[in-house]
Structure 1
């Protein structure tokens, strides 16, 4: 049996589900795009091709092997995008929460059925239908659970709004001893530079007390100030609008001092090294064209 344990974003990783880019299917049409960044690349005819994305994910896989992390991959669905395993579920403490994802993506959960079978059934929960929540919006920091949401009355009009306030209330009810704090994120259907698809598009902790943050990703300045007070301004690396667009906050921690990052994130990677992190740089710029990066491709199951 898998004894789940995830309490934060940075403790030593032992076991993870890594998505796959194999049999990714044809380039979607503009009407099929889930987010403005994919749409932009579909229209520009620069949408990533399978061969390049498979190579990028293999580079990520090799880093996990280097650190002796147990890696599960989803079963293959023909002609289907299975890269972003973070969206389909997430672990808090020792509980696996199935996400209520966009209906078309339900099959992705079936593809990790063999993993779920190794988990004590009482430790797997499925939120009720009205609860929308995706793993990219859920960020753990020990006693805190940070959740990205969208509070606009036009929530249902945004395919880029993935977690609702019912989702926040649901997590509060499951974990009454945690401090659950929601953050109202900026959404756009058309401009990827102004769309925080998930919380990890504009914030992520690294190490024990540091973080990467994009101030303009928050609709309320008070939400940004909350994090600055909690972490300390000197411990936060502020990214620019362009760096947010390229997904600089969507790195992934294997340990408190080991961060996997995209090789083009020069400014961020230098800051990480200056702060005594080991930076494992890999190519991931093609996958980034789908408005997802390293954290989005992973579903951690066990951290020490």
Structure 2
């Protein structure tokens, strides 16, 4: 398999899409990785497996409508395998395995049928000191945007997934790229004050536009960098409630086609006014676990 990913929006040719099959029972509070899942467990609204399977099957159909080759993980009994973006990512022709939470390592084994098709020389395993997950990494042509948390209390946050060692690692691995880091706001208890990954508060769309949520960034100058880079006229700024609903976590099939949640009325209207084709699907049940469309995918090849 010839991997090729330079950015977030070029025409998608091949992708891993997670699975909700055999997702397991409702987790215990102490086993949760994010505050939104905890909130839904306490409220009795944690998503049902059948509903999540239907949502992911709808996503699968849209991808195949655009002739995308879709790989799915091997189903493992009682394992949450929805968020394929967490376990790895591709930049240029390299597959970088994430250093994910230790009790999620089985999720990597479930995509061995994909991993084994990749040139061994292009499979990159970061050292243990490098904490990194795919939701925090956004290749954007000459840039690699990376969400991080570098506070001294890093170890206290189950929601802090990518550290500064990851930035240094990517800088060495891709010397021709400009690696730009962004400090993200973290909370173990309040999902409206938690940017679990960079794609929870930022995502490029098309050739020169972006979705942003200012409060997701701890350093205003870093947020302002993105405003200046894309231009204020090209930015859709989402509210705290829209961030909570995961409005920045849509997914681009191409520079002109995006997949979005059917309930994102304001965003979808803006996208259409910008000339995008918006494929709307229900995905709100998946969103109850603080991840959405981008989180469910691991793109392998874009044109």
Normalised by the size of structure 1, how large is the TM-score? 0.99
How far apart, CA to CA, are the structure 2 residues paired with 1:11 and 1:117? 25
Correspondence 1:209-248 to 2 at 5 A? 209-248=208-247
Q: Secondary structure of the residue that 2:253 maps to in structure 1?
A: strand
Q: Secondary structure of the residue that 2:100 maps to in structure 1?
A: coil
- In the TM superposition, residue 281 of structure 1 has moved relative to its aligned partner by 0.2
- In the TM superposition, residue 259 of structure 1 has moved relative to its aligned partner by 0.3
Is residue 2:45 matched to residue 1:16? no
How far apart, CA to CA, are the structure 1 residues paired with 2:171 and 2:156? 25
Q: Secondary structure of the residue that 1:54 maps to in structure 2?
A: helix
- In the TM superposition, residue 140 of structure 1 has moved relative to its aligned partner by 1.1
- In the TM superposition, residue 151 of structure 1 has moved relative to its aligned partner by 1.6
5+ residue gaps, structure 1: none
How far apart, CA to CA, are the structure 2 residues paired with 1:219 and 1:119? 37
Q: Deviations over 1:119-147 (max 9, x none)?
A: 10000010000100000000111000000
- Residue 261 of structure 1 is matched in structure 2 by 260
How far apart, CA to CA, are the structure 1 residues paired with 2:147 and 2:116? 29
Is residue 2:140 matched to residue 1:141? yes
- Residue 90 of structure 1 is matched in structure 2 by 89
- Residue 59 of structure 1 is matched in structure 2 by 58
Is residue 2:282 matched to residue 1:275? no
How far apart, CA to CA, are the structure 2 residues paired with 1:195 and 1:152? 14
How far apart, CA to CA, are the structure 2 residues paired with 1:204 and 1:67? 21
Correspondence 1:73-84 to 2 at 5 A? 73-84=72-83
Correspondence 1:93-112 to 2 at 5 A? 93-112=92-111
How far apart, CA to CA, are the structure 2 residues paired with 1:240 and 1:267? 11
How far apart, CA to CA, are the structure 2 residues paired with 1:77 and 1:172? 35
How far apart, CA to CA, are the structure 2 residues paired with 1:151 and 1:131? 12
- Residue 289 of structure 1 is matched in structure 2 by 288
Q: Deviations over 1:160-198 (max 9, x none)?
A: 000000011100110011010000000001000000000
- In the TM superposition, residue 263 of structure 1 has moved relative to its aligned partner by 0.2
How far apart, CA to CA, are the structure 1 residues paired with 2:191 and 2:244? 7
- C-alpha RMSD of matched pairs (Å): 0.4
5+ residue gaps, structure 2: none
Tell me which stretches of 4 or more aligned residues in structure 1 moved more than 3 Å.
Answer: none
Normalised by the size of structure 2, how large is the TM-score? 1.00
Q: Secondary structure of the residue that 1:286 maps to in structure 2?
A: helix
- In the TM superposition, residue 148 of structure 1 has moved relative to its aligned partner by 0.1
- In the TM superposition, residue 31 of structure 1 has moved relative to its aligned partner by 1.1
How far apart, CA to CA, are the structure 2 residues paired with 1:101 and 1:173? 20
Q: Secondary structure of the residue that 1:39 maps to in structure 2?
A: helix
